Structure 1
């Protein structure tokens, strides 16, 4: 009986991993079918094309669906291949746009009953949006200008210019020249403070050394500060802190620096990203108490925290202004609605409580798919104003 019990226990232990694998595979297949199915139906199978067209289109969609997960694993796995990532990310962007507009096109077809017209319309809209979206993703970001009034800011710092960079995401597409042009655009703004709000790269500092090098030429009269984003915790966060320090930036790893002018003082504080505590890296977690330790509570605080959803902690601590990124403004519409489920704000300036304001940047770069649709990139110039 004892031996039987042992055999049964061992069999159960082996069965549980198998069931887990089966469940994961079922979920993966389900996601792929949902994502690729509507475009295949609207553009190919349900449009009433001749048989050879349907067969050829089905082969294309089937091949894309079957290779897509392997490309993503090869591109973004532990030994990521930049070439596989470029192809997989592009497929992801294309199929997301096709999925969105195929669903909308399918609804239109229910009303008009013209499947071929709808198929051509969906294909044209998707092609235009993908072409425009790629241009928007690869261009040097536009400058967004905004005044932010901080009642506790002393008059000596009135007019302080804070330039915000976020989500540069140096990655599989070599954008070293783009990075140099971004630095030129930042320097043209004659900043007092430059903030990089995290997600500097997808990849480690050695792989992205050339792309990150132009950050060393960024100029600011008072300070250049940087905090980690969630993507750093998938690609050597501490090494990125060290790299930014090497480039002359103040790495606000749960700490603060103080800037002064004309008798007025501003505390620039930063915290690790909220995912840091699950990274397994010793000393990495979002620690606002540690970041503000020793700061005079009478002085206004500008906090840099990668994700907007950290703002409740900032408001509870009486922070005057939090600067964040992370959302990309949704990057590809209508993903902004899904981002809003996880974050309190998708982009722009918002108020949280009596004192705290939050500025959420759409970011300068992009993650994954090299497209931005209805979510333009930005470099932000915040001009701080004192007084009520």
Structure 2
């Protein structure tokens, strides 16, 4: 019955392009930067990744919802995407350890979704014209009304979003008796990053985005971690200041995605908004140190300026994205600091790069011995 009675829905892009589809039954209007993820699985981890806050997700896989949801397959305690665009939405699901349907999961969190969209045409259009703001409407608003509302939505460039997803109060992960103590700055941290650190005998104190270096240092950590997160890194003045002080003190530090960009900015290297960004679980990266290739999970719309990085006397590129040559990783020659522009914790994705967590621990060991 749902397939014959569902209401029409609209996806309107900021340049006036319209795609039509159907509502899955949740009425509303939602805004965000439209982007696409090429992953064939792991949709629940994607929907709950804080780095996607403020974005409308286009799923390139033809079927979404077919294996339901599971309470353990989350990267945050709530859905982070602003809305979903998909081809076929599965109202029924089959999975032995499923705890419910994706439809019910969306209804509980009132996530607006438009299905029956020609997603191949939509993704092709975004590839050609770049990421842009968009609106999904399933509640009957007119095109003119939606255009007026969409015009008021700020662009992602210059937008600070870490404060929207960061913890409000510090919290702990792992065993207090663990060998290593890590102070983690939460700019939109994923749960699986914390799991990867904890299983490597780390006790982690997670700090809010607006914490100070002095507050983090008072934990007496063996190392610092700067997390992933949404939005433009440029407005994160507090995080950049923390990074500068970490480097000045030569504390061991590891940054992922937004944390990687913050470390670049702390070194005077600029960042820029990408035309489309990288979002998927099959992005090829070359390790410039070992010469080996890695298949990686990526989710970012900003990148570090390669030309400036190559000219910096104290920095070197450790990883490059094979498809477009963008910076995928860097390290400092004179400091205990490295970072990557992708997700070694995966979730979803391959585990080719999980060694980076081991590398962080080895760096900490060297610092402790010194």
TM-score (norm 1): 0.32
Larger Rg: 1
**Higher RCO (C-alpha 8 Å, min separation 6):** 1
Q: Which has the higher strand share?
A: 2
